[in-house]
Amino acid sequence: MPSTDRSRRRGATRGAPLVRLRVGFVVIAMVLSFFGARLVQLQGMDPRSYASMAAAEGAVEVPLLAERGDILDRNGIPLADSIQGKMVWADPTLTEDEAPEIARLLSDRLGIDYFRTLEALRGRKDGSQFEYVARRVPSTLATDTVAELEGLGYEGVGLEDDPIRDYPAGDVAANIVGYMGTDEPLGGLERTFDAQLAGTDGVATWQSNSRKGVRIPLRESTIEAPVDGEPLRTTIDRDLQWFTQKVLAQAVDRYRGESGAAVVLDTRTGDVLALADVPTFDANEPTEAREEDLGARSMNLAYEPGSVEKVLTVAALIDAGKSFPRQRFKVPSSLMRQDRPIGDWFDHGTIRLTLAGILAKSSNIGTVLAADAFTPVQLVDYLQRFGLGRRTDIGVRGESPGILGAGEVMTSQAKDRVAFGQSLSVNVVQMAAAVNTIANDGVRVDPSLISGSATTDEGVVVGTDVATRTRVVSRRAAQGTARMMERVLDPEDGVAPAAAVPGYLVAGKTGTAQRVDPECACYRGTSVSFGGFAPADDARFTVYVVVHAPQVDGGGGSIAGPVFSRIMGYVLGRYGVPPTGGTPSRLPVEW
């Protein structure tokens, strides 16, 4: 054989292993590339699409529930929080055959409905491997119950975290905070700020043996972790809220009132430190309360404020240069206006009162005579600047804006009634904020229930960060009105000595107004109130109290005044506000 042919054969023999090695490397690289691409797809690019595919192949999807954000008072104390709980779930492919026995044990231990449990254990959906059995179960109870089932040889019942909403102080601030159903908020801040509080649930998905329901090792699975909700901090002082509710409840009970409300404002910031409603409810047991007690009457119920409104009329008159504290008026026993007489709450002949005396004695006739200096348009314009006729937007659902007629179409007769607090309506915080304007030297500061800022379910941003300040009347007008309001509590000349706080100068005003009964579209019963601030010469807090439909004789001074006194005394002491040592007002009442 020629030497050249032998050389070719030896070269071919040597080249063959190299070719096979190269081909092998290519194959290995292709396989590794395939697995690498698959890994990227599963773990990095599209876990949701994989979860959908896995579900179609009989995968089990278990929700991972987010923990709801806490609702806190101004000091970070929880008004609502979440405690550890469990959901009990079942795989019907494992529980169907022994469903009656398992359902009986679960219903006995957990106190849940037997027939609904039986339905879940048998499967509500074709081929389902996940069904809820019980929600929001205390962890120890749920764990012990499932352990008992396993000990008896039953399979297919599992647990996952399911936080339980808890209201540590029961009924304290329940009218504001609201309450939860099984899966959704049903009232109060819980509902208004649900988007912030709720968080986002996650889901765990894995593929299981369709006959035994057990997770298959080494098969693909995904976990989308839950994102917990964010906390919501309020301006409420929990301890002050508790005290305010307690004192108000005692008064409503004592005077057999239909309901009552009270609010405490920080005069300078407008922070709502307490907002109480009576009757209220335990937020942990909302189903045990009457439906009408589940909301915030203080915000949702519009009523006529009565004579507390007179301080707004008087301050506006002084600001406009149309009156002054020592101005003299002859006040007749009755005043005929158009076809109706206007009278006072007390019988008298013609008396001589100053503007300060009109306020101290709470004379409707005198207020109307003073307000004759205003047109309806001028009076309404001032009241709108005080915040009447529009919502405060502090973040409470269903807030009433109240009713304040347009000055352009208001009759002089209607203007007379509005001047002393009838024929208009307000809510409690709205009226408190108006009185607080006098306390704050004529500057209205928006009341706030939320510390910082938050967005309501209506898309409104509320809170201390966005509160505005508006000059309504001059400092001179506000301070002059405050000095006249001091005379309301004078034991000799005023109508509300029971509202005094020992050691402090207090400015205030009573209110007794007829109540509108929607059933008869007529006036029936009264709402009695007292609003004021202290120290009168350097105000720190404003308190406003109203009791609706008391069943005893009395007015704002005798019924609401003592409630005001106790609440104001408590808040001044709690925040360490010392008496100013100022001289009480001696403005003349009569001339």
8 A C-beta contact, residue 60 and residue 205: yes
| Residue 19 DSSP class | H
Q: Is 259 a catalytic site residue?
A: no
| Residue 549 DSSP class | S
* Cβ neighbours around 582 below 10 Å, total: 13
8 A C-beta contact, residue 493 and residue 354: no
The counts of H helices and E strands in the chain are 19, 23
8 A C-beta contact, residue 509 and residue 308: yes
Residue 215, helix vs strand vs coil: strand
Q: Which helix (H) or strand (E) element contains residue 89?
A: strand 85-90
8 A C-beta contact, residue 537 and residue 580: yes
Amino acid in the structure at residue 417: R
Spot the catalytic one: 221, 307, 423, 527.
Answer: 307
**Cβ contacts of 303 within 8 Å, gap of 6 or more:** 425, 426, 513, 515, 516, 527, 546, 548
Amino acid in the structure at residue 103: A
Q: Which helix (H) or strand (E) element contains residue 72?
A: strand 71-72
Amino acid in the structure at residue 492: E
Beta strands of 504-585 (E only): which ranges?
Answer: 507-517, 522-534, 541-548
Rounded-to-integer distance, Cα 511 and Cα 206, Å: 67
Residue 66: half-sphere exposure toward Cβ, Cα within 13 Å:
22
Give the tokens for residue 464: 């201390």
**Cβ contacts of 101 within 8 Å, gap of 6 or more:** 154
Rounded-to-integer distance, Cα 84 and Cα 473, Å: 53
Burial of 217 per CB tally in 10 Å (0-12, 13-18, 19+) = exposed
Residues recognised as catalytic: 307
